[in-house]
Chains A and B, each alone.
Chain A
């Protein structure tokens, strides 16, 4: 190949490539301006856990330790206790409840096995995903951070509808 045909061929290739690029200019935007715009998460997304309460505000967890047994990374720490008061003024739905319920987010891998294991639907995955902290000790979340009544939800996510378009994240909805 002579140098002239070389230059011609390369120019052709560049023009063809730029053609693809220019064809995208009138099309819709494909990026999300996080954190100014919320990120879309799917309904089953596995974010920070939530500990649930029943309609009277009593904790659903009965401290059965199944979630801790299912956890592949051994990051759930529970201390069970008894609450002998009457059902109305108890902390949990049952006499037995978790006095301490810690999840170590330095170890948690967000696998969802604890959620699958819980027989009481007491723990589920929420959608909070901004979990970085400046201090390693802060990764240990206690009941105060995990209870659904106390956990602060981030404004930076939006949960998709189940039947949303596959590329809805990048379009106005």
Chain B
């Protein structure tokens, strides 16, 4: 009796050494969101990797054109949701640049303090999930415990945990609550011990070394050519940090180092971020020491909402309040680009204004987006199991990539 092989089984006749294409994600837990990678494999070796993005596309940049300038702040929270205060800062500073506003000293110090706390929180999520991807589960819980303290602080100041919207054009939403300094000091005092625990769990761990050293190498030249920024670039030995090269909110007056590591592999990027947490911790202490009483909103009655008491007692303040809320404020026509150092790299905001209360065009240069484009170069020739290590090491957030 002769058997005819149905066409779908003919693939079995293929020689076993040919290449195979598999799809990793979008529901893969180690792609940090909804990222799909199309991997061409030769055995277990990656021949080609193509990131496929867009699963979280929300049209945020377009949305800005329909919102008044102050309403745009809440949209920025939702881009890189692990570093919302950094996004707030980039956006409000770009608008302030267009308006030519002077921000009071206290507001600037609070901005630095909150942004550095947020950077630590963002790095803690990276550390926990990156280690979890590689197989070290314990550290995840300790990272999230420390992050919880920071989120409590952010919640105490702004009312939101993941979406604080704390910075406003011309200053802050409101001043810090009573007792905030003491609570930040409490966190600062406890953090080095936690950092030491993290180091004990991972830094000297041979199993972790084996998974990270010499994996996903990108040289300094390639890193610059690929447009890498942030810790991913500094992991290749290039000491570029926007806080140093293009200082904003007074970062030039703080004493901190730019950590770099020479090798450009997953381990180097890990070490850079671990050391960066320590540097951020140093900056928070300095910012805390500098906090002095003073106003937290710029003196610009046509842009900044008036004090609530003044609004209820003074007619002109009430009129300004009505006008700002109902109609917004006009921003002089022009274009502006403002970069800041977010936790993942250079976050740039480009705003084009046509003189009205709504922007004509807003564009974000998201660090995750550009850093992700380097992934195919990093994983080329690596093993399939190393892809998750490399993805973790570039620290991407899909909310920012898809926007």
Contacts and interface: CB of A to CB of B under 8 A. Distances in A.
B156 interface: yes
A70 B177 CA distance: 24
Interface string B136-173: 10100110010011001101111110010100000001
21 contacts: A13-B208, A14-B207, A17-B136, A17-B200, A20-B197, A30-B145, A42-B159, A44-B157, A45-B159, A72-B67, A109-B74, A111-B74, A116-B173, A119-B312, A119-B318, A160-B156, A163-B183, A166-B152, A166-B153, A166-B184, A167-B152
Interface in A13-39: 13-14, 16-17, 19-21, 30
Contacts of A105: none
Interface in A116-173: 116-117, 119, 125, 160, 162-167, 169
Contacts of A44: 155-159, 177
B165 A111 contact: yes
The interface size bin for chain A is 35 or more
Contact of A16 (B74, B178, B204): B204
B200 A20 contact: yes
A4 to B, nearest CB: 13
A112 B204 contact: no
A163 B159 contact: no
Contacts of B74: 72, 109, 111, 113
A168 to B, nearest CB: 9
B138 A17 contact: yes
Contact of B325 (A10, A42, A66): A66
B325 A163 contact: no
Contacts of B173: 112, 116
A111 B325 CA distance: 14
Contacts of B138: 17, 20-21
Nearest to B326: A69
A9 B157 contact: no
Nearest to B318: A119
Given A166-B153, A166-B186, A119 B160 contact: no
Given A21-B138, A44-B159, A112-B165, A165 B177 contact: no
B187 interface: yes
A166 B190 CA distance: 10
Given A163-B178, A166-B152, A66 B322 contact: yes
B177 A43 contact: yes
Nearest to B155: A42
A70 to B, nearest CB: 5
B67 A46 contact: no
A166 B187 contact: yes
Contacts of B207: 10, 13-14
A112 to B, nearest CB: 6
A16 B311 CA distance: 60
A60 B149 CA distance: 36
A67 to B, nearest CB: 9
A165 B186 contact: yes
A77 interface: no
A117 B325 contact: yes
A169 B152 contact: yes
Nearest to B178: A162
A20 B201 contact: yes
Interface in B298-321: 305, 311-312, 318, 321
A20 B311 CA distance: 54
Contact of A13 (B153, B165, B206, B311): B206
A167 B191 CA distance: 12
Interface string A42-53: 111110000000
8 smallest A-B Cβ distances: which pairs?
A163-B179, A44-B159, A72-B71, A9-B206, A13-B205, A46-B159, A42-B156, A42-B155
Nearest to A169: B152
B14 interface: no
Interface in B280-302: none
A160 B201 CA distance: 33
A41 interface: yes
